[in-house]
Structure 1
Amino acid sequence: MKHTPVFQPLNTKLIAIMSGIVISLTLMGCGSPEELAFIRDCKLSGGSSELCSCTWKAMSQQYPPATLQAMVKGKVPAPQDYGQYLIETIQSCAKQSSH
């Protein structure tokens, strides 16, 4: 009998969602279309509407959308805690949506 680690599916989904977020951050414009693009790409990566909306709200409160876009394009360096914050945000939102 083959056993699959309990956390492997979560890690795979987390990586897919993070990839979608990075892609959406790369494609963002300005104004409300940023949020729509972020949520669309997050959902295409496997996130629910609730998870993606929660993640957008937290990320855009921590980092202004223009700053996020500049980081992804390499115009400004990402803060040292950016990757960890993104992971924690997704995990926190996932916990909230599962209750």
Structure 2
Amino acid sequence: MKKSLLIVPLLLLAACATQVKTAPAPDAAMSQRSGVKMETLQRGHTVYLSQCGRCHQHIMPADVTKSDWHVVVPGMAWNAGISAADEKALAAYLTAAAH
């Protein structure tokens, strides 16, 4: 009896858990749509995964407009000490993935 009483709250907790979002991995369609080379998109995705979550929670590319990414990325890249080449790749990835 006691075990069945514990199962109900656990099931309710599981039902309320938020689904974890993941940023889209670069693919051929993203590259073609954006006109950005796959190599650049992959580099930007790697920078996104390795650097952007160091200071704050990852923000999904589609949650910010393309024009806003162009404003946000330079400041964040400077704060994080990201190289100019990585900043450029990151911006390319975020704007391509924001589609």
What is the TM-score of this pair, normalised by structure 1? 0.33
Highest Rg: 1 or 2? 2
TM-score (normalised: structure 2): 0.33
